[in-house]
């Protein structure tokens, strides 16, 4: 009887006005447990980084997928999230050497996959593999926002991670949108319409 590999899948970045939506997929190794896995939003940044390194080291396999701002604008954020999740599972499959037997997806719907999949609402608080995936997705996206902050410090991405905060709105009004802003999102679209960027 071969082992059954179950991967957890979660995303980060559905709500921000800028950057990619990023998904993580993780198959945990039962012989190499990771202590302290929980929903990435309930962890400090330092703790997330520590657990991210633990996952890289101890998980049976992991993968990352994303959908770009242009893809989000083209197909909408929900479909882009499903696309990022599928890409994360495909990346994991490459590292695992085979498709996992089943995917546990955080949320209430699953991407189209050639394997069994189950959507679990608040799965990042219930399933350790989904918790691990949420950490991989969040750390990956936060690192992307740090890089974007270095390119465009005027927006303050390192502080709000692209979410729709007052500081972000103020920067949008002052500077317009950068190349990574999601133009289909109404706050960005309204600024562009008002300022003719």
DSSP conformation letters of 138-177: HHHHHHHHHHHHHH-GGG-HHHHTT---HHHHHHHHHH--
Mean pLDDT value of segment 113-131: 96
- Whether residue 114 is predicted with pLDDT greater than 60 in this model: the reply is yes
The full length of the chain comes to: 197
Q: What is the pLDDT of residue 197?
A: 45
Average pLDDT, the chain: 94
Distance (Å) of CA 65 to CA 24, 50, 80, 91, 150 = 7, 21, 11, 7, 23
Query: Do residues 60 and 5 touch, judged by C-beta distance below 8 A?
Result: yes
Per-residue model confidence (pLDDT) at position 39 = 78
CATH number corresponding to 6-150: 3.30.420.10
The pLDDT of 97-111, averaged and rounded, is 96
Helices 186-195, 166-175: inter-axial angle, 10-degree rounding? 30
- What predicted TM-score, i.e. pTM, was given to this entire model? 0.94
Q: Residue 196's pLDDT is what?
A: 56
Check residue 40 and give its pLDDT: 80
Predicted local confidence at residue 20, as pLDDT? 98
- Here the tokens at position 79 are 């479909």
Domain ranges of the chain: 6-150, 152-195
Q: What is the per-residue pLDDT across 5-63, written as a single tens digit (0 to 9) for each?
A: 999 999 999 999 999 999 999 999 999 999 999 878 889 999 999 999 999 999 999 99
pLDDT digits (tens, 9 = 90+) for 138-172: 999 999 999 999 999 999 999 999 999 999 999 99
- The angle, 0 to 180 degrees and rounded to 10, between the axes of the packed helices 45-58 and 128-151 is 120
Q: How confident is residue 192, by pLDDT bands cut at 50, 70 and 90?
A: confident
């Amino acid at each position: 009887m071969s082992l059954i590999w179950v991967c957890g899948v979660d995303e980060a970045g559905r709500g921000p006005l800028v950057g990619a939506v990023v998904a993580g997929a993780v198959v945990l190794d039962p012989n190499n447990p990771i202590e302290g896995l929980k929903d990435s939003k309930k962890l400090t940044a330092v703790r997330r980084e520590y657990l991210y390194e633990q996952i890289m080291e101890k998980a049976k396999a992991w993968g990352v997928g994303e959908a770009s701002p242009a893809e989000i604008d083209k197909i909408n954020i929900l479909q882009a999230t499903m696309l990022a999740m599928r890409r994360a599972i495909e990346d994991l499959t490459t590292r695992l050497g085979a498709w996992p037997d089943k995917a546990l997806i955080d949320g209430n719907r699953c991407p189209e996959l050639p394997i069994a999949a189950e959507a679990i609402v608040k799965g990042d608080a219930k399933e350790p593999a989904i918790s691990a995936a949420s950490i991989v997705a969040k750390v990956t996206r936060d690192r992307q926002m740090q890089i974007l902050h270095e390119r465009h410090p005027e927006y303050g991405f390192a502080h709000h991670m692209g979410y729709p905060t007052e500081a972000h709105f103020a920067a949008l009004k002052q500077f317009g949108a950068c190349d990574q802003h999601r133009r289909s999102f109404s706050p960005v679209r309204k600024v562009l319409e008002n300022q003719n960027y």
